[in-house]
Structure 1
């Protein structure tokens, strides 16, 4: 119910919306009377579908065509409606948290009736990218029935009912387009009672993807299994971080290693991105081997250094 109500809310300014309203008859309500009626029906409403809600509010419009249009097209009325609805006799145990998604991913208790109203399984989607800081709107295609959203440490978090594989693909596709190569999205799946656990998994994967300097795209735990196992073993993570630590004192060598990782270990591409000759890159890689004891020109060595860099970054 709460999700359906929230979907209908928009940013229309109430005072501006009512400017110029005129009663069409002596019995049609004024704007002030109408708002009072909205609040009153909200106190009595027991429906749980958007259609019920709209029908109820249309009754409050009492045939005034301008008010009818406002009910159908404007979400600003719901602020008044919900104020009344929350005063009904259900009591605190039935109230829906203002930010339900935040409560769920934090593992805080919510009323059982609210939990029972949720989908049985969800996609937990964590989105991070430069578009987040530019006020770019979330794709409208994601605002489907039952979707919950919140922000956590700057990331967008979506809880999308896990209906089928087609919807999963559609969600990730829309988000990939939205990010436009400028960020990451991580997906985990859990039942409604394990959403906090799923969010922790998605958060860990996001940290590993960012620390590993992965390209923009969609990720899940299956993409970082080795790194995930490492950070869950404190002793191994400490030993790996110790391998890379001496390199931090050599800014040029650190930059060279990260450029090699960014180039997917392609040395020609790394040299080009650093604007240096290939022989200069090779010399720097030899220096990295000398400082760390791991040869970044070998497959095993560069994988170890990459994992060590990640372990150091997420500590």
Structure 2
């Protein structure tokens, strides 16, 4: 039977105040995790600003994982192995992507281990000196390993974000959208051109966390975009080329094989909305590399049209907005069409009700719900619209003129 430094037998459990340190850590892990999370939120504003799903989810899981890992190391009396810090490295990379400062990330680990050690040594007795010395050495070594693994992963992620690959993808996308010669770009970046691209313009709504009181909107926005990027990458299994901010942007999704069927693509966009947690309006068109500039221009126009007309979230293509698209082209008829509704300019409530009524498919109850008024109010307003303009939206003969007039007004701004 050997004796470790400080007179501690290395074949017996390390104990403080008569209790097994490893067993105590396992039993106390959940309570310690809650205390650490509370302390972090109190100590550093960045943790107070993070979305609750991050603080109570990912960060709490990592704190708990550290407690369990250290209990294992104490039980087996050994240092940690590199493979045992994978979760900490992954978490650190995510914090780097979200823009959480490295000192705040490291602070969390030091607070967690420090609070555990403080609780652990609180009841130490004079006879525990050997075990205390052994555990203190292990605590310092564990913190050293955590600091090295977490810091290196964080810095690696930051470098990747500005890496040659990302720069190359941005260059390729810029060349595709601008219609520039692509052979030199592809050769320089090492990226191969796809035979087709799914050109997509997106309008992205705010996530609840972006406007939550006390939550960092910047961090929440970055998390939203990270989830969106992951979902766009899933569409064809190829990394999507994107220029997107928190409000929307453009994506070019490589199609090495056959592009997704429209119905399948609609389901993918619905899934993306659910995963991202916000409303998404998207317009898509399949294009060859040479056709990308025109496809991007067309999908951007479609998004502008559906946004102005108050269309619901979802995926759109040209056939969904044929009338609005055609009427958005410059034409001498624009002022005349828009002028059909000129009598309503001084009555904005009538114009708003007319737009909602047409958008609802002439459903008076749906219109009333959308405007939060009584259905009888909708009926009254539609009668006034007919009296002032001479156009009755419920009349099949007048409805095309009403729709064209509304589209012309939107086109003219």
Give yes or no for TM over 0.5: yes
Question: In structure 2, what is the Cα distance between the partners aligned to 1:314 and 1:218?
Answer: 21
- Give 1:215 shift: 1.8
Aligned match for 2:271, one of 158, 174, 177: 177
- Give 1:102 shift: 4.0
| CA offsets 1:202-258 (integer angstroms, 9 cap, x no match) | 012112212222222110001112222222252233322222233222112112112
- Where does residue 151 of structure 1 map in the other structure? 244
Compute the RMSD of aligned alpha carbons.
Answer: 3.9
CA separation of 1:101 and 1:165: change in aligned 2, threshold 3 A = closer
Structure with the larger helix share = 2
Question: In structure 1, what is the Cα distance between the partners aligned to 2:337 and 2:376?
Answer: 28
Question: In structure 1, what is the Cα distance between the partners aligned to 2:411 and 2:338?
Answer: 10
- Give 1:15 shift: 7.4
- Where does residue 140 of structure 1 map in the other structure? 230
Aligned match for 2:309, one of 195, 199, 212: 212
> Which sections of structure 2, spanning at least 5 residues, go unmatched?
1-92, 107-147, 211-219
- Where does residue 258 of structure 1 map in the other structure? 355
Aligned match for 1:124, one of 174, 199, 204: 199
- Please give the secondary structure, in 1, of the residue aligned with 2:393: coil
Aligned match for 2:185, one of 104, 107, 114: 114
- Where does residue 71 of structure 2 map in the other structure? none
CA separation of 1:141 and 1:74: change in aligned 2, threshold 3 A = farther
Would the aligned equivalents of 1:212 and 1:306 in 2 still touch at CA under 8 Å?
Answer: no
Question: In structure 1, what is the Cα distance between the partners aligned to 2:161 and 2:328?
Answer: 45
Question: In structure 2, what is the Cα distance between the partners aligned to 1:74 and 1:279?
Answer: 63
Larger Rg: 2
TM-score, length basis structure 1:
0.64
- Please give the secondary structure, in 2, of the residue aligned with 1:123: strand
- Where does residue 160 of structure 1 map in the other structure? 253
Would the aligned equivalents of 2:283 and 2:317 in 1 still touch at CA under 8 Å?
Answer: yes
- Where does residue 287 of structure 2 map in the other structure? 190
- Give 1:170 shift: 5.1
Would the aligned equivalents of 2:176 and 2:182 in 1 still touch at CA under 8 Å?
Answer: no
Would the aligned equivalents of 2:284 and 2:299 in 1 still touch at CA under 8 Å?
Answer: yes
CA separation of 1:307 and 1:179: change in aligned 2, threshold 3 A = farther
Does residue 395 of structure 2 align to residue 305 of structure 1? no
Would the aligned equivalents of 2:195 and 2:289 in 1 still touch at CA under 8 Å?
Answer: yes
Aligned match for 1:235, one of 297, 316, 332: 332
CA separation of 1:185 and 1:191: change in aligned 2, threshold 3 A = same
> Which sections of structure 1, spanning at least 5 residues, go unmatched?
1-8, 20-65, 87-94
- Give 1:185 shift: 0.9
Total equivalences in the alignment: 249
Question: In structure 1, what is the Cα distance between the partners aligned to 2:386 and 2:162?
Answer: 67
